[in-house]
Amino acid sequence: MVDFQAFLEKLYWKYRDVNEGKVASYIPELAKANSDSFAICAVTRDGRVFQAGDVDQKFTIQSISKVFVYGLALEEHGRERLLQKVGVEPTGDPFNSLIRLDEDSKRPDNPMVNAGAIATTSLIKGDGPTERLNRLLTLFQRYVGHEVFIDVPVFVSERSTGHRNRAMAHLMLNFGMIDQKVDEALDLYFQQCAILVTCRDLAVMAATLANQGENPLTGEQALHPEYVRDVLSIMYTCGMYNFAGEWAYRVGIPAKSGVSGGILAVVPNQVGIAVFSPLLDGHGNSVRGLRVFEELSQEFGLHLMDLSMGRCRFEAAIRDSSELTAS
């Protein structure tokens, strides 16, 4: 029988020397990332931790933040009001595309593309920018189980170069999709993208979603259980940029990636898994991350549409596996 921890280590060594892809450079500060960094971590819904590689290395969360801010917006506004401002339809376009925004409804298609994420962030409640930022930091703290900080150089770098995001935000202001002051909304969006996390943090966040919104390590409720299905559905259909369909077909679990090289994925009621490697393919997804997830899904029958094994192979693999407990 396959031992889960041993399998993660095997994947780490197998893909460690894959050097295809490029580190993101459109945010100048991200170009400084170490392309050798590589980590894999899994946290089960009962809090067991399995890991390999640089699981404690910090990097900015980037687009993965969109998932969690969307969850907060759902709690604050409810489904119906949020749907009026941000749709739930995959675009098939790159995440920073402006093309569809000027068509038909003037409403961003979904909260995982930049336009939809900026609109979602602009809805976060709070009396002024500091209170709204604190609200977001507290949210992420509930998911990771410890204090979180912003990488200020990355925030400043994106703030001074994010002209496409500014263009989208102003277009949405023109359409009445953003109510709040547009520069404040953009600053908050750039700040949420610059929150520092580790691969282990991402796995805990994913495990929290796998565990109906309750952080399995702290017992804290990070998201109301009523909204977990909304968040997971959007991740499944829109989480991997314009590769989302292929990901759903090949890997088959809700996931979200970010341009600093993280991918987080959720097997509902079972496990949260994260991979970090900054080398990205043309869609903006981590090259090593895609390979690791494809292999994990295949080996343990994690694909949600594949009921032939009923997840038992995964359960068996973790049952007797010695976890490498992180500090």
Closest to ligand DON by CB, 44 vs 63, is: 63
- Give Cβ neighbours of residue 225 (< 8 Å, ≥ 6 apart): 212, 213, 214
Measured at CB, which residue is nearest to ligand DON?
Answer: 63
Dihedral of CA atoms 272, 253, 242, 76 in degrees, nearest 10, equals -60
Closest to ligand DON by CB, 95 vs 314, is: 95
110 binds ligand DON (CB under 6 A): no
Count Cβ atoms within 10 A of the Cβ of residue 128 and give its class: 0-12 exposed, 13-18 middle, 19 or more buried.
exposed
- Name the residue among 187, 139, 143, 151 with its Cα closest to residue 166: 187
151 binds ligand DON (CB under 6 A): no
214 forms beta bridges with 221
Mind telling me the catalytic residues?
63, 66, 189, 241, 259
289-318 residues near ligand DON, rule: CB under 6 A: none
Parallel, antiparallel, or unpaired: how do β-strands 59-60 and 196-197 relate?
antiparallel
Which residue among 158, 201, 214, 230 contacts ligand DON (CB under 6 A)? 158
Residue whose entry in the numeric block shows the structure tokens 């970010």: 258
Closest to ligand DON by CB, 53 vs 284, is: 284
Least Cβ distance, residue 30 to ligand DON (angstroms): 9
Least Cβ distance, residue 72 to ligand DON (angstroms): 17
Residues 51-90 as x/- pattern, contact with ligand DON by CB under 6 A = -----------xx---------------------------
172 binds ligand DON (CB under 6 A): no
Distances (CA, A) of 90 to 95, 176, 243, 265: 10, 22, 10, 18
- Name the residue among 315, 255, 327 with its Cα closest to residue 46: 315
Summarize as ranges the residues that interact with ligand DON (CB under 6 A). 62-63, 95-96, 114, 158, 165, 193, 258-259, 284
